[in-house]
Amino acid sequence: MYSFAYKSKEHKKHRRPKIYPVLDSMATILHAALARYLQYEAEPRQCVKRDPKDTVPVHFQPLENSTHASLQVQEPVSPGPKSFNVFYFNGSNGMKIPVTVRSTDTIGKMQQKVLKLRPELGASLNLVYNGKPVQLWQTLSELQVKPGATFITYQKCQGG
Measured over the CA atoms of residue 81, residue 86, residue 90 and residue 96, the dihedral's sign is positive
pLDDT (0 to 100) of residue 23: 47
Mean pLDDT in order along the chain per 10 residues (160 residues): 51 52 50 56 62 74 76 69 88 88 92 89 80 92 92 78
Instruction: Check residue 29 and give its pLDDT.
Output: 56
- At 1 the pLDDT is 47
CATH fold of 83-154 reads: Ubiquitin-like (UB roll) (3.10.20)
- Whether 108 contacts 126, CB under 8 Å: no
pLDDT (0 to 100) of residue 16:
54
- Give the pLDDT score at 57: 74
Write down the pLDDT at residue 49: 72
C-alpha distances in Å from residue 121, one per residue of 56, 109, 118:
76, 15, 6
pTM over 0.85: no
Domain coordinates in residue numbering, the chain: 2-38, 83-154
Dist CA 88 CA 117 (whole Å): 11
Look at residue 132 and give its three-state secondary structure. strand
